[in-house]
Amino acid sequence: MPQGSSHLPAPQEPCAAPSSEPRSTPSGGLRSALPGELRSAPLGEPRSAPPGELRRALPGEPRSATEGGHPPSRRPHRVAVIVDEGTNPFEVGVATELFGLPRPELERPEPLYELTLCTPTPGVRMNHGFFTLSGVPGLDAVDDADTLVVPGRPDNVVPRRAAVLAAIRRAHARGARVVSFCTGSFALAEAGLLDGRRATTHWRWTDVFRELHPGVLLDPDVLFVDEGDVLTAAGSAAALDLGLHLVRRDHGAEVAGAVSRRLVFAAHRDGGRRQFVRRPLPDVPGESLAPLLAWAQERLGEPLTVGDLAAYAAVSPATLHRRFRAQLGTTPLAWLTAHRVALACRLIERGEVRLDVVAERSGLGTAANLRERVRRVTGLSPSAYRRRFGPPSGEPVTA
């Protein structure tokens, strides 16, 4: 899930270290300060969504319906989250925030998603026993989901329950999209979904993962990997990146941008970004790229070059390149191009049909360059992108 654009990286929230403590499964109610926010209604009728032909597209951007994506439907896209013994609460919270809560910022009556949490037993104790989740459906709810999310847990050397692995395999076999957050990738690998495919996991667990699952093409340096029907996020914070990527893939850049603003989170850190940088903050405050990025984003439609960026930052192009690599894990040109493509997608979603106008306003120059860049990033031509994410009436939408 591939390259794209990015903002300043947020720090990773590492998963817990390996644990040798025995597991237990006490039953009981949800003992949490927010008991009502971790429950959801059972799913409705089952739906089968064939994965279609897979092709590589850049992470952080929408993909076509023939690449494992899910075209708009009359009902919300159903998301199920498997909460097993020891699951990390943060990742369950990410799924709840992105796929389970109302989105008033969108000013639309219909929800984007319908979320269900499901457990293999009536009561499941979360990581470190902070609380017990109960009163939610069992694993049969997975059979109704369009997307299945598997969060991580700290005891990754302990085999998963057979019922959990069977539910993951069933979902994948019938064409559902399967997603892991952090070390949830261990469960996907154990279920056989990752053999011979690219995937990622938290960087602290890469050696253990490779030892247990040598057939997986593990990429330990990226935030997430999108293989079309199977997607893996590196760490807990990267779950937000992958979740917003799914929103963008399902509903377009405009909707994903609105959701990210509500979350006060970077809308577009692409999956190819490094999980962490060894110097996340500049030694000298004046070396921060934040002022330059803000300045450039307001001028994407202008003929900006890397030289212009360097001149504004009052450094040489070579120094600017080193700072981009150190702070963002990308190059100035790649960052500029990716943000111009994202702007072009937003203009198309708002109803602009004149490709030369979109190319000019986004800084991509020509309609031919626009077509090439949009197709390379999204897997769709501008016309196909408009049909999928543009205004239903074909009329322009006021920004």
Per the structure block, which two tokens stand in for 69? 């994506």
Give the torsion sign (CA, 28, 135, 145, 120).
positive
Using only the alpha carbons of the chain, give its radius of gyration: 21
Rounded Cα distance, 178 and 291, in Å? 38
Among candidate residues 15, 118, 182, 345, the one labeled active-site is: 182
345 is catalytic: no
Contact (Cβ atoms closer than 8 angstroms) between residue 102 and residue 63: no
Nearest partner of 93 among 263, 297, 335, 314, judged by Cα: 263
CA trace torsion 388, 390, 395, 399 (10° rounding): 170
Q: Would strands 132-134 and 123-125 be described as parallel, antiparallel, or unpaired?
A: antiparallel
Contact (Cβ atoms closer than 8 angstroms) between residue 150 and residue 180: yes
Rounded Cα distance, 214 and 216, in Å? 6
Sheet with strand 77-82: strands edge to edge: 113-118, 77-82, 147-150, 177-180, 230-233, 224-226
Per the structure block, which two tokens stand in for 90? 């943060």
Helical H runs in the chain? 89-99, 162-173, 185-190, 206-212, 238-251, 253-263, 290-297, 306-313, 317-328, 332-349, 355-362, 367-378, 382-389
Burial of 281 (0-12, 13-18, 19+ CB in 10 A): exposed
Nearest partner of 41 among 78, 84, 75, 70, judged by Cα: 78
Q: Which residue numbers are catalytic?
A: 182
